Chain A
Amino acid sequence: MSSEFNNRPRLRSLVLLGGLFCLALSVSTVLAEENIDAAPIVISQANSTRALTAVSMRQGLNSTTHVFQPGAKTRITVFITNIELLSDEGMTAFRADAEDGRHYRYPLQIVSLAPTAERKWVYALTLKLHSGMGDVGDVLLRVNWRGMASNRVRVAIGHEGDGLKDDEGAQPTPMPDRPPRIEQIDSVGLPFTGDRVRFMEQATFGPNATLENQLRRTSYSTWIFQQMEQKRDANNGLRFSTFPYPNLQLQPVAIPSTCDVICQRDNYSMYPLQNWFFREALYGEDQQLRRRAAWALHQIFVVSGRETVQPSRMLPYLQVLDRHAFGNYRDLLKDITLNPAMGNYLDMAISTRQSPNENYAREILQLFSIGLDMLNPDGTPMLDSQGNRIPTYDQATVNGFTKVFTGWSFCEDTAVCPNRTQGTPNFKDPMLLRAANHDQTAKQILSYPGAVSTIPAGQTGEQDFEAALDNIFYHPNVAPFISKLLIQQFVTSNPTSAYVKRVADVFNDQLGGGIDRGNLGRVIRAILLDPEARGNNKSDPDYGHLKEPVLFVTNVLRPFSPTANIGAPANCNGLSDGVINGVTIALDQDVFNPPSVFNYYSLDYTLPNTNLFAPEFAILTTGTALKRPNFIHQMFGPGTNGATGITIIQNQTITQNQIPCGTRVNLTRYLTLAQSDLTGTLLVDTLNRELMHGAMSPVVRNEILTAVQAVASNNPLRRTQTVIYLITTSSQYQVLR
């Protein structure tokens, strides 16, 4: 093993001592907050929207109309401006497409990007035509950068004509003589700017006025720092949730005959944890970002309550995610591997030298760390000389890791297992090695430049374990693989490879020489502050991601002051108890009960007919699509009482404390707006800002205004409900973009 590996833990603790400084310093490297709304401009001819093009850089600008030959060999150079690139930002930060007269939209591969000699603020962007594009005539060509779409310019393929009309409002964008003045939008102090609302959607379980107010007066960086800073409970212990975790005891494996329906609900189902989770999501203001991060990590390092059964067994697993959400990936990997619920779920707990089980060995590689294919630092697949993907490991490697993980099982030694409980497996303490069950033969592990790809025979199980986890941790795939999954959870399903690389560089601690490799707090901060995440309005057509059911439900509730349902028992204390899971079950997301290790939805699900990732669409189906508006109707529908989550338990003697409170919303704040402006405009525009980043298109705004005006003006509640219904049931709202 290399000395670098041996030194790693010591170096990291040094970094932690100076952690404050590290975090503060890293901010400036990520984002200059101005210019967040700059969109690239593709340069056209002086008098038309036809592109100014060149066949190649050598031949210089072609100021006359040019018709390009169809075919994948043809390259076109166009010129773009109004962009300010980061030092390492290049062509991978851009995407381009062209639409022909039949509305077929072709992706165009970018082959180079370089500033022009005469005008440093103008860049030459060279593109390769799509092989499927025949003699289609005019196409409209667009360049996307940081989630922003350019104007579309006209390019002739094969012949002129037969194209679409120019986009509405399109103007010639001739070659500028001086750098364009980038419009500065000073949004400090403006309530509910588009960027701030999107930030709240990305970093929390939904916007609300209190948080908006706080962000308006400080900054994203400050808020992120406050969220990440250590918090302590009354006993000075570290606290990773706003509300206490439910107090859960390990139960007998077989449900005792005395355990009635409520007892089973509270001890043999995920119910107590689901309620705690939604309570955190709705009200846990000082842990919003940690909760989002832990929720994202749960969907990567999946354990399901379906096999874990007892909430007391699931809680320690969730606590590992909470504890390491802003910690180090290597520590997370260790604790999650030794977590008994994981050991049970992926069979490491029963894998022995005598009867090895491959399950965990395979999943830790495929799902938790490096994936199936070798990746470039920007997350794109590495290809061999024949253009094929390169597998990260083979069966012999799986066999090697299988041997590494043999011998660990539930902690049942009273001397070292404080939480051992007679008569039921210990799901609270980390798993323990039984040396006799560990395979001590030599093991093949991952091979990559700089790796020691074998573990010698005769080491202890603990030595094998640490060596194998280091072998995974230092694999070059980990940074782009994990970074991309987290970007998809927080920001967009289809990040540019430049965005992935910027975040992966932070994961690898490129600036610090790697000593703080795997710092998840810095990774999440880089994701949220990246220019591709920020901006008041995102116009790239492929930007964003669908709000999964949990985020949909909490995003809809949080802006409207959720509280306990009227008539609820006294123990609800004004806050609802988070009994919302029934809603998300109907939407195919039963919290902490994903159907398999492949999550509630497959993280690599692609939208049919496209190669666009759209993971959350795996559970937006004909069967669930109408249940979204039906939930909105239940909470906000005109004529309803706006309450949800009431569980009726029949044929049981129940006390008040056993009845769930449910959740209801409060629309008072908006009724005033509805009353003060009888045209409905104030109401619609306010909710446009607060729920839709102010990005509502004129068509949608008019539709909603028409519907509002159809409601009697003396009924402000019904008017308010109408606006909220129409916004939140729209795909424009449900896709976070």
Chain B
Amino acid sequence: MKDRREFLKTSCRALSMAALATQMRHFGLINALAQDKETDNASGGNYKALVCVFLAGGNDSNNTVIPNYDAGYGQYAAARQSQGLAIARSSLLSISPASLSGQTYGFHPSMTDLHTLWGQNKLAVVCNVGTLMQTLTRAQYQSGAARPMQLFSHTNQVEQFKTAISNYSSPTGWGGRLSDRTANQNGGAAIPMISQLSSGANVFAVGNNSTPLIVAPAPTPLNQLLTLNGFGTATDDFARRTAMNNIRQADLNYTLTQAASTLTQQAINVSQQLSSDPALTVTFPNTSLGNQLQQVAKLMKFRSQLNMSRQVFYVQLGGFDTHGNQLTNHASLWTQVSQALKAFYDETVAQGISADVTTFTMSDFNRTLNPSGSGSGVGTDHAWGGHHLVLGGSVLGGNFYGRPTANGTIFPTLVNAGPDDAETRGRLIPSVSVEQYAATLARWFGLSQNDIPLVFPNINSFSGSDLGFMV
């Protein structure tokens, strides 16, 4: 029999072909083959987890990581100060990345906890990341070279960041595909590898064979996340429960019926697995992100009962679409992010897994360098490449990473209509693709070199799939 990988490749080719496209359905085929365990590269008990923090709406990373040397701050201030959007230089939390010698930078003043983690070399910045089909110069962009579909549009750019595919609308995300490809490293896990703390369909967590466990954040205890109401101890309750269980095993020859029953069964299995609510050491802030990350920490603490050596989590904080009133809102959002991430990191230390857990940000896009409006209502519009944060004990922290921008360094030039601007309002052309950023994380997580192009089909359009920020 063909091995699974070859089979999948053949099938995928066949799918793009001929009238087969609608006729050709795999039924249970791929699933059954995929379940043939590949034990040759099983990982033997070590643990790794990735935590995606999605800053929904498009974080203004121009006000998150700010040049703090004379020339750099000067350009930043020239672009933003007159409309009142520049953060005062004196308030920046100063940082000195070794990769940009002679230049100092600063975090937004709300990021005090993250600044502490930077000082402990647990936090890294990846500069100017965004959706790309190929690396682009300003001249190439302006002469119509290939670029992602629907730039500057929320829905498309969110989707592309989550799928790591920017030339078509993919039904699977990179988290899901990563889960497909590393499922064999997860032993007999009792629940899906990916857990999502926000509700609703989320393409990041959907793979060809993977769907996420979707659960509510704290304070809902772990053992009350998924409950089936209405069964007491009466004899007829017991009979009804038995009938319900048996009905779920019937009529499985009907595809959609089987799919719905399988999902329900999975939810019931998970509810039985999540049998207690582990206590945590650290007190988390009672915020949206704090509560989501608290639940993540509990699911991590429960990992051995779940027989899991690989976990992926997705949490999300909204409100970053700061077209107006940005100064107040952005400060409050970053206070929340900073405090929640610090509590979460501290909890991983307490659990002894800080080197096994890597937390990273994603967002729709960066925002325009050029503000919209002015005064206290000042805001920014949708843009493109932005800076992202990576946190954890296996992160080579206290440094900036990236690929050269038009100015030769990894940090872009903050000038409207400047060499890194796609247009005129400071929409930075990314120098690092989502694929490179994600592949660096995925490789650390255990994705094999051979599988990288299968999870990131366009990775070979970029120079190098490892940005070097992980050990």
Question: Which A residues touch B150, using CB under 8 A?
Answer: 358-359, 362
A268 vs B255: C-alpha distance when bound (angstroms): 42
A704→B243 contact, CB < 8 A: yes
Interface status of B38 (Cβ within 8 A of chain A): no
B242→A707 contact, CB < 8 A: yes
A726→B24 contact, CB < 8 A: no
The closest CB in chain A to the CB of B211 belongs to A608
Answer whether A710 and B25 are a contact pair too, CB < 8 Å, given A542-B255, A622-B192: no
A734→B24 contact, CB < 8 A: no
A707→B240 contact, CB < 8 A: yes
Distance in Å from the Cβ of B241 to the closest Cβ of chain A? 9
Question: Which A residues touch B26, using CB under 8 A?
Answer: 107, 609-611
Interface status of A571 (Cβ within 8 A of chain B): no
Q: For window 254-278 of chain B, which residues contact chain A by CB distance below 8 Å?
A: 254-261, 263-264, 266-268, 270-271
Interface status of B251 (Cβ within 8 A of chain A): yes
B208→A697 contact, CB < 8 A: no
Interface status of A630 (Cβ within 8 A of chain B): yes
Interface status of A731 (Cβ within 8 A of chain B): yes
B11→A387 contact, CB < 8 A: no
A731→B264 contact, CB < 8 A: yes
Interface status of B10 (Cβ within 8 A of chain A): yes
A609 vs B8: C-alpha distance when bound (angstroms): 11
B255→A623 contact, CB < 8 A: no
Answer whether A103 and B32 are a contact pair too, CB < 8 Å, given A109-B19, A609-B26: yes
Distance in Å from the Cβ of A674 to the closest Cβ of chain B? 13
Question: Which A residues touch B215, using CB under 8 A?
Answer: 622-623
Interface status of B39 (Cβ within 8 A of chain A): no
Residue among B210, B246, B256, B271 with the most chain A CB within 10 A? B256
Distance in Å from the Cβ of B252 to the closest Cβ of chain A? 9
A604→B240 contact, CB < 8 A: no
Question: Which B residues touch A588, using CB under 8 A?
Answer: 199-201
Distance in Å from the Cβ of B6 to the closest Cβ of chain A? 11
Q: CB within 8 A of B27: which of A104, A387, A388?
A: A104
Interface status of A61 (Cβ within 8 A of chain B): no
Residue among B144, B171, B236, B271 with the most chain A CB within 10 A? B236
B153→A730 contact, CB < 8 A: no
- Residues 289-316 of A, flagged 1 when their CB comes within 8 A of B and 0 if not, give 0000000000000000000000000000
Distance in Å from the Cβ of A668 to the closest Cβ of chain B? 21
Q: CB within 8 A of A381: which of B14, B21, B25, B34?
A: B21
Question: Which A residues touch B226, using CB under 8 A?
Answer: 622-623, 626
B239→A614 contact, CB < 8 A: no
Segment of A12-20, A328-336, A435-443, A592-600 engaged in the interface with chain B: A592-600
The closest CB in chain B to the CB of A633 belongs to B230
B248→A625 contact, CB < 8 A: no
A734 vs B259: C-alpha distance when bound (angstroms): 11
A109→B267 contact, CB < 8 A: no
The closest CB in chain A to the CB of B245 belongs to A703
B255→A607 contact, CB < 8 A: yes
Interface status of B250 (Cβ within 8 A of chain A): yes
A630 vs B268: C-alpha distance when bound (angstroms): 13
- Residues 177-201 of B, flagged 1 when their CB comes within 8 A of A and 0 if not, give 0000000000000001000100111
Question: Which A residues touch B258, using CB under 8 A?
Answer: 731
Question: Which A residues touch B243, using CB under 8 A?
Answer: 703-704, 706-707, 726
A134→B30 contact, CB < 8 A: no
B211→A619 contact, CB < 8 A: no
The closest CB in chain B to the CB of A391 belongs to B168
Q: For window 672-727 of chain A, which residues contact chain B by CB distance below 8 Å?
A: 697, 699-700, 703-704, 706-707, 710-712, 718, 722, 725-726
Answer whether A637 and B263 are a contact pair too, CB < 8 Å, given A707-B239, A710-B236: no
Interface status of B209 (Cβ within 8 A of chain A): yes
Distance in Å from the Cβ of B147 to the closest Cβ of chain A? 9
Interface status of A352 (Cβ within 8 A of chain B): no
Answer whether A614 and B256 are a contact pair too, CB < 8 Å, given A620-B263, A622-B263, A710-B235: yes
Interface status of B23 (Cβ within 8 A of chain A): yes
B24→A103 contact, CB < 8 A: no
A389→B16 contact, CB < 8 A: yes
Question: Which B residues touch A604, using CB under 8 A?
Answer: 171
Interface status of A488 (Cβ within 8 A of chain B): no
Residue among B11, B20, B268 with the most chain A CB within 10 A? B20
B236→A718 contact, CB < 8 A: yes
Question: Which A residues touch B260, using CB under 8 A?
Answer: 546, 617, 620, 625, 731, 734-735
Q: For window 1-38 of chain B, which residues contact chain A by CB distance below 8 Å?
A: 1-2, 7, 10-11, 14-32, 34
List residues of chain A with CB under 8 Å of any chain B CB.
Answer: 95, 97, 102-110, 131-132, 134, 358-359, 362, 372, 379-381, 383, 387-389, 395, 493, 497, 541-546, 588, 595-598, 601-602, 604-612, 614, 617-626, 628-630, 633-634, 637-640, 697, 699-700, 703-704, 706-707, 710-712, 718, 722, 725-726, 729-732, 734-735, 737
Question: Can you report 19 residue pairs joining A to B where beta carbons are below 8 Å apart?
Answer: A108-B23, A542-B25, A544-B256, A602-B171, A604-B171, A607-B256, A609-B28, A617-B260, A620-B260, A621-B201, A623-B213, A625-B266, A626-B228, A630-B227, A703-B243, A731-B261, A731-B264, A735-B260, A737-B257
Counting from the closest, the 10 A-B pairs by CB-CB distance are A623-B214, A710-B239, A633-B230, A731-B260, A105-B27, A707-B243, A609-B31, A637-B230, A703-B243, A625-B267
List residues of chain B with CB under 8 Å of any chain A CB.
Answer: 1-2, 7, 10-11, 14-32, 34, 144, 149-150, 153-155, 168-169, 171, 192, 196, 199-201, 203, 206-216, 226-230, 232, 235-240, 242-244, 246-248, 250-251, 253-261, 263-264, 266-268, 270-271
